[in-house]
């Protein structure tokens, strides 16, 4: 009996070990389906993935909700389709221009792929009326979230790409939609002639919220790398971070900054400044490494300085009247103590020092910052023109232009380059409040409840075809089932053995020893 028990125990342990190993393999093959990460696995041949992002029903909506681009393309394909396999290199040639850290034209088109031969995606492909492979669809990313396409709605912003059979033809179709002249040979920052100007399109400011995140991350990276947090500057940093927690236009940066502030004293006192970066000032998923709204014609123009100005303006229009003076002094001190360009920080602080009367309203602070920015633009314009260092696509100018805000000018015939423009300050304030307020975050949805519900509904529809949290191979499922049966058999055997022991090993009566007197 004992040998049989030992044999069953050994067999059970062996099956459990196999089951756990298979289960671990399943977890490695398919991480949590609800993850926001778009990292793709290496294929079976050990090759690295391409530039187009592979999506499925579990991350489709979230990927497009998080997209920072103006447009998106989805290729619906089937992995068994020879034509799809032959088309993939053509699609990747175009995706290389728009996706990835080294994209020649970032922030414009988010290029993705969905495998309709994977049963988890069956209903997703049906929603887009996919009847043949490959099929390409074009539209704003937000329109793909919880959406579909049937080809009958003429007002739909999602369109079927009817001429994209080769890389050349697909790029030609894209250029016809955007009025652009992109080429397959374009490289990162080698495309000055096609850099988009943002001076005439007020809607492009909506892209800047991601550049504000980028600028925030870079600013705090520089502070940490240069060990700029000193006893005398610590208070200024904390106050500026408190401003960001309340008024940063990015929800991720507000949360990330709040997390750091909660732990700031412990980290600072323990001298573990490097740990501040591990928290992520804007969370773990914000950094992209490139600019969209703030992108210059060359690597050394615009970028960080533009993103920092947008951050300061966006905070200024969000403070309350009673916070205006505090926001002013905190911003002046922050730039003076933490902005690495010494000449720039001194010029900015000199402008701050000329203010003699405390601000009593948000309007006063917003208009002062706008005036200061124009003063900086005027000074830099003269210097850059004499040294020939200006960005030809984005020359410094007095702002806003008449095209952006015609009502900001009292005299509509006055030259924008005039040294003394007659501004309508009420209209300027309205424009700044809208431009750096609602327009800035128009593509950055603050309320995720509806999108979360859409995602949950999509996942629940597929629950019979897949398990969202874990995909278990058939071998692992059989192993787990067998282990469960063996465990039940072993439990029954153990109970029977204990029962038999109860009857075959009866306790002996105690022998009563008489007490000696």
473 in any annotated domain: no
The residue among 383 and 94 whose pLDDT is bigger is 94
Asked if pLDDT for residue 26 goes beyond 50, the answer is no
Using 50, 70 and 90 to split pLDDT, how confident is the model at 369? very high
* Lowest-pLDDT choice from 21-35, 403-417, 420-434: 21-35
What is the pLDDT at residue 384? 78
169 and 246: one domain?
no
What is the pLDDT at residue 485? 53
Asked if pLDDT for residue 313 goes beyond 60, the answer is yes
133 and 270: one domain?
no
The residue among 495 and 104 whose pLDDT is bigger is 104
- Average pLDDT on 308-322 reads 94
340 and 407: one domain?
yes
The residue among 144 and 505 whose pLDDT is bigger is 144
* Lowest-pLDDT choice from 119-123, 132-136, 484-488: 484-488
Average pLDDT of the chain to the nearest whole number: 75
380 and 239: one domain?
yes
Query: What percent of the chain has a predicted confidence (pLDDT) above 90?
Result: 33
- Average pLDDT on 179-207 reads 62
Sole residue written with tokens 């289960």? 23
In angstroms, the Cα distances linking 56 to 29, 35, 85 are: 15, 12, 18
- CATH number of the domain within which 94 lies: 3.40.30.10
- Average pLDDT on 423-452 reads 75
- The residues with which 73 forms a beta bridge, in sequence order, are 111, 138
What is the pLDDT at residue 419? 66
238 and 139: one domain?
no
* Lowest-pLDDT choice from 41-50, 124-133, 145-154, 479-488: 41-50
Sole residue written with tokens 């303006």? 313
Between strands 109-115 and 135-139, the pairing is: unpaired
462 in any annotated domain: no
Give the active site residue among 84, 116, 253, 332: 84
Cβ contact 51:113 at 8 Å = no
* Lowest-pLDDT choice from 197-211, 317-331, 445-459: 445-459
Asked if pLDDT for residue 206 goes beyond 60, the answer is yes
What is the pLDDT at residue 496? 53
* Lowest-pLDDT choice from 88-102, 123-137, 184-198, 436-450: 184-198
Asked if pLDDT for residue 156 goes beyond 60, the answer is yes
- CATH number of the domain within which 310 lies: 1.20.120.310
134 and 95: one domain?
yes
Asked if pLDDT for residue 508 goes beyond 60, the answer is no
Q: Which of 113-127, 153-167, 172-186 has the highest mean pLDDT?
A: 113-127
Q: What is the DSSP code string of 123-150?
A: HHHHHTT--SSSEEEEE-HHHHTT----
Residue where a domain stops, chosen among 416, 435, 454: 435
238 and 166: one domain?
no
Using 50, 70 and 90 to split pLDDT, how confident is the model at 439? confident
373 and 304: one domain?
yes
- Average pLDDT on 334-359 reads 90
Residue 333 in tokens: 């001190």
Using 50, 70 and 90 to split pLDDT, how confident is the model at 503? very low
H/E element holding 55?
Answer: strand 53-55
What is the pLDDT at residue 7? 52
What is the pLDDT at residue 179? 79
In angstroms, the Cα distances linking 73 to 11, 52, 169 are: 53, 10, 14
Cβ contact 315:327 at 8 Å = yes
What is the pLDDT at residue 299? 67
Is the pTM above the cut of 0.95?
Answer: no
139 and 288: one domain?
no
Q: Which of 74-88, 211-225, 452-466 has the highest mean pLDDT?
A: 74-88
Residue where a domain stops, chosen among 390, 418, 435: 435
Asked if pLDDT for residue 268 goes beyond 80, the answer is no
Q: CA-CA distance, 77 to 116, in Å (whole number)?
A: 6
194 in any annotated domain: no
211 and 174: one domain?
no
Q: CA-CA distance, 265 to 281, in Å (whole number)?
A: 16
Give the end-to-end CA distance of the chain in Å, rounded to a whole number.
49
CB atoms within 10 A of CB 160: 15
What is the number of structural domains in the chain? 2
Residue where a domain stops, chosen among 435, 467, 496: 435
Using 50, 70 and 90 to split pLDDT, how confident is the model at 495? low
* Lowest-pLDDT choice from 152-161, 374-383, 439-448: 439-448
Q: Which of 116-125, 289-298, 377-386 has the highest mean pLDDT?
A: 116-125
- Average pLDDT on 77-89 reads 92
Note down the domain range covering 214. Answer: 207-435
374 in any annotated domain: yes
497 in any annotated domain: no
166 and 102: one domain?
yes
Give residue-wise pLDDT tens across range 444-459.
554 344 433 433 444 3
Q: CA-CA distance, 284 to 288, in Å (whole number)?
A: 11
Asked if pLDDT for residue 15 goes beyond 80, the answer is no
217 in any annotated domain: yes
442 in any annotated domain: no
Using 50, 70 and 90 to split pLDDT, how confident is the model at 493? low
Cβ contact 184:167 at 8 Å = yes
252 and 359: one domain?
yes
* Lowest-pLDDT choice from 47-56, 103-112, 204-213, 262-271: 262-271
* Lowest-pLDDT choice from 335-344, 363-372, 431-440, 493-502: 493-502
Using 50, 70 and 90 to split pLDDT, how confident is the model at 41? very low
Residue 471 region, left (φ>0) first, then alpha (ψ -120 to 50), else beta?
beta
What is the pLDDT at residue 447? 38
84 is catalytic: yes
249 in any annotated domain: yes
The residues near 347 (Cβ < 8 Å, ≥ 6 apart) are 376, 379
In angstroms, the Cα distances linking 443 to 54, 57, 206, 349 are: 23, 22, 6, 33
Query: What percent of the chain has a predicted confidence (pLDDT) above 70?
Result: 67
- Average pLDDT on 331-348 reads 89
- Listed as own residue / partner, the contacts of 90-93 with beta carbons closer than 8 Å and 24 or more positions apart are 90/165, 90/166, 90/167, 90/170, 91/52, 91/134, 91/167, 91/170, 92/50, 92/51, 92/52, 93/167, 93/184
């Amino acid at each position: 009996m004992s040998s049989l028990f030992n044999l069953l125990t050994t067999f059970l342990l062996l099956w459990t070990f196999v089951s756990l190993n298979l289960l671990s393999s399943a977890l490695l093959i398919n991480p949590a389906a609800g993850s926001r990460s778009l990292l793709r696995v290496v294929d079976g041949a050990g090759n690295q993935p391409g530039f187009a992002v592979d999506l499925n029903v579990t991350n489709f909506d979230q990927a497009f909700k998080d997209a920072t681009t103006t447009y998106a393309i989805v290729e619906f394909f089937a992995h068994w389709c020879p034509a799809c396999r032959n088309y993939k290199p053509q699609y990747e040639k175009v995706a290389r221009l728009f996706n990835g850290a080294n994209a020649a034209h970032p922030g414009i088109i988010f290029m993705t792929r969905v495998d309709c031969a994977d049963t988890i995606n069956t209903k997703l492909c049906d929603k887009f009326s996919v009847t043949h492979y490959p099929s390409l669809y074009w539209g704003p990313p937000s329109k793909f979230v919880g959406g579909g396409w049937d080809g009958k709605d003429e007002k739909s912003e999602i369109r079927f790409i009817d001429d994209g059979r080769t890389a050349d033809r697909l790029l030609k179709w894209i250029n016809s939609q955007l009025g652009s002249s992109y080429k397959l040979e374009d490289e990162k920052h080698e495309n000055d002639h096609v850099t988009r100007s943002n001076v005439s399109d007020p809607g492009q400011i909506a892209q800047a919220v991601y550049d504000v995140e980028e600028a925030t991350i870079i600013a705090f990276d520089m502070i940490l790398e240069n060990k700029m947090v000193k006893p005398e500057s610590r208070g200024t940093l904390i106050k500026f971070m408190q401003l960001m927690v309340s008024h940063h236009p990015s929800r991720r940066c507000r949360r990330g900054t709040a997390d750091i502030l909660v732990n700031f004293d412990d980290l600072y006192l323990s001298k573990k400044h490097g740990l501040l970066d591990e928290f992520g000032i804007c969370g773990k998923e914000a950094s992209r490494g490139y600019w969209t709204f703030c992108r210059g014609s060359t690597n050394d123009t615009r970028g960080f300085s533009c993103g920092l100005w947008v951050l300061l303006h966006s905070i200024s229009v969000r403070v309350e009247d009673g916070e205006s003076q505090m926001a002013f002094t905190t911003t002046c001190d922050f730039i003076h103590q933490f902005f690495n360009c010494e000449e720039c920080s001194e010029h900015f602080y000199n402008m701050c020092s000329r203010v003699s009367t405390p601000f009593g309203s948000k309007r006063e602070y917003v208009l002062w910052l706008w005036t200061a920015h124009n003063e900086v633009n005027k000074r830099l314009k003269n210097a850059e023109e004499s040294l020939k260092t200006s960005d030809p696509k984005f020359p410094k100018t007095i702002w806003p232009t008449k095209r952006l805000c015609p009502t900001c000018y009292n005299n509509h015939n006055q030259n924008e380059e005039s040294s003394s423009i007659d501004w309508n300050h009420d209209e300027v304030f309205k424009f700044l409040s809208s431009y750096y307020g609602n327009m800035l975050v128009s593509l950055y949805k603050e309320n995720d409840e509806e999108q979360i519900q859409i995602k949950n509904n999509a996942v629940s529809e597929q629950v019979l075809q897949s398990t969202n949290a874990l995909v278990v191979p058939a071998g692992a499922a059989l192993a787990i089932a067998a282990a469960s049966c063996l465990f039940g058999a072993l439990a029954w055997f153990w109970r029977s053995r204990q029962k038999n022991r109860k009857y075959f090993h009866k306790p002996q009566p105690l022998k009563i020893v008489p007490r000696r007197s």
